[in-house]
Copies of this chain bind each other. A is one copy, B any other.
C-alpha cells in the first residue's frame, strides 16, 4: 500500500509520502515514492506516486529521458515545460506512453494498469498548483475550497485533514497536519510505513524550504506521535460519559 498527500495553502505546497511497497503480503520493501525535481529559481516540482511500482517507475524514467512533443517534434522534459499546466500534461503523456508500451501485456497477465500521482509545484514564477493525475493521463486540480489531495490508502488520514486544513493554514502547520494524518494511517494500516519523505515549498521562494526524509525513531516525529496520542487520550477523558438510557 501507499499513502501520499499534497496540501496547497496560500503560503505554499506540502507533499508527504510513505515508502512501503508490497508485492503480495510477504514481500515488503522500501521504495521512494516522492520525487523532487528542482532547478532553483526556475522550478520546484514534486511528484508522488501510488499503484503498480513498475508503472510509476517507468513514468519517472520516461520523464527523465524526455518525451517527444507530437506537434513540434522537440524532446520535452519537466525542465523544458514553461508552466505547471504544461508540466502536468507532460506527466499525463508519460503515463499514456507507458500504457502504450505495457498496457496490453498487463491486461493479458490479469493486472490492472493501476497508477495515480500527485504533482505539485511552481514553474517560472507562475502560479503554484497541485494536481492529481489518473491512469488515463487526465487530471484534476486542487483548489482553495478543499486544499488537499490524497492518493493510495487515503481514508484513515482524511478526518485529520478535513478538520485542520484550510487555504489559510500556515505552511509548516500544514506540514504538521500532514504528518499527523500519516501517523493515523500508519497506525491503522501496516501497509503504510516509515521512512516518510516530505517536501515543503514556499510560494515564490524559488526552491524547496523542506526536502527531507524522516527515518524511524527521528526525535521530532517521535515526539509529535506521542503528543498527539496523549492529547487524544486526554480529549477522550475530558468528554463526559453518555447520559443515554433505554
A residues with CB within 8 A of B: 155-156, 158-160, 162-164, 170, 172-173, 175-177, 179-180, 184, 187-188, 198, 200, 208-212, 214, 220, 223-224, 227-229, 231-236, 238-246
Contacts and interface: CB of A to CB of B under 8 A. Distances in A.
A158 B159 contact: no
Contacts of A238: 227, 231
A188 B165 CA distance: 13
B241 A211 contact: no
Contacts of A198: 242, 244
Given A210-B245, A235-B235, A163 B187 contact: yes
- Report how many copies the assembly holds: 2
Contact of A159 (B175, B187, B200, B239): B187
A229 B160 CA distance: 10
B159 A236 contact: no
Contacts of A231: 231-232, 234-235, 238-239
29 contacts: A155-B188, A158-B188, A159-B188, A160-B232, A163-B187, A164-B232, A164-B233, A164-B236, A172-B242, A173-B236, A173-B241, A175-B244, A176-B241, A176-B242, A180-B239, A208-B246, A210-B245, A210-B246, A212-B246, A214-B244, A220-B240, A227-B238, A227-B239, A228-B235, A231-B231, A231-B234, A231-B235, A231-B239, A232-B232
Contacts of A244: 175, 198, 200, 210, 212, 214, 220
A238 B229 CA distance: 12
A163 B229 contact: yes
B239 A235 contact: no
A228 to B, nearest CB: 6
Residue of A180, A184, A188, A209 with highest tally of chain B CB at under 10 A: A188
A152 to B, nearest CB: 12
Contacts of A180: 236, 239
